[in-house]
């Protein structure tokens, strides 16, 4: 038996070509935050974008050193020109299946550097967080534009 997580199609960028989204919980320091993630089969990693990271970290976002830590990495294709990201230590990504049972995913969560640093228009502030291949590949991903459905299918033993 498999576990299914339902998503939806969102006309965020183009009403004629809606994008797949899924809701997930990010647990950080014992606090849970529900976030909407763009399911991006072209992304290697799962990445929390500035708009959502502000909700997670508050003022701590501006104190985050995106370029001065050993594990900072450059990510391409995010926003207008890409940018740096750091791993969000101790964060857990959780999906909830169709019967309400939680599925804890063992993937690193990356935090994208805000560009620009303040919330000025442009840059990556308007972009949704990304549910990447590292989270997708532990199961199957089904997308049907005909039926208007988005489904993540996970093995029962996860």
For position 158, what pLDDT does the model report? 53
Measured distance CA(35)–CA(26) in Å, rounded: 7
Q: Which has the closest alpha carbon to 93: 15, 32, 13, 18? A: 32
For position 136, what pLDDT does the model report? 95
For position 80, what pLDDT does the model report? 53
For the chain, domains (ranges, CATH) are: 2-155 (2.40.70.10)
What lies within 8 Å, CB to CB, of 49 at 6+ separation is 78, 112, 124, 125, 127, 128, 129, 130
For position 29, what pLDDT does the model report? 87
Q: What is the pLDDT along the chain (158 residues), one digit of tens a residue?
A: 689 999 999 997 788 889 999 999 999 988 999 999 999 998 889 999 988 988 888 877 776 777 766 667 777 665 555 678 888 888 999 999 999 999 999 999 999 888 877 777 777 888 899 999 999 998 999 999 999 999 999 887 65
For position 157, what pLDDT does the model report? 62
What lies within 8 Å, CB to CB, of 108 at 6+ separation is 45, 46, 87, 88, 134
- The per-residue DSSP string of the chain comes to -EEEEE-EEE-SS-TTSPEEEEEEEEEETTEEEEEEEEE-TT-SSEEE-HHHHHHHHTTHHHH--SSSSTT-EEE-SSTTT-EEEEE-TT-EEEEE-TTS-EEEE---EEEEPPSSSS--SSTTTTPPEEE-HHHHTTSEEEEETTTTEEEEEEETT-
């Amino acid at each position: 038996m498999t576990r299914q997580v339902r998503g939806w199609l969102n006309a965020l960028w183009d009403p004629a070509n809606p994008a797949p989204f899924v809701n997930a919980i990010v647990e950080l320091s014992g606090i849970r935050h529900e976030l909407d993630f763009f399911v991006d089969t072209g992304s290697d990693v799962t990445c929390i974008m500035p708009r959502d990271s502000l909700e997670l970290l508050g003022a701590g976002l501006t104190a985050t050193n995106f370029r001065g830590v050993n594990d900072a990495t450059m990510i391409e294709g995010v926003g207008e020109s890409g940018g740096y990201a750091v791993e969000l230590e101790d964060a857990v990504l959780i999906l909830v299946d169709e019967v309400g049972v939680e599925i804890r995913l063992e993937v690193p969560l990356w935090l994208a550097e805000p560009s620009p640093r303040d919330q000025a228009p442009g840059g990556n502030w308007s972009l949704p967080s990304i549910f990447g291949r590292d989270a997708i590949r532990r199961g199957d991903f089904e997308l049907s534009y005909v039926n208007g459905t988005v489904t993540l299918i996970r093995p029962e033993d996860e």
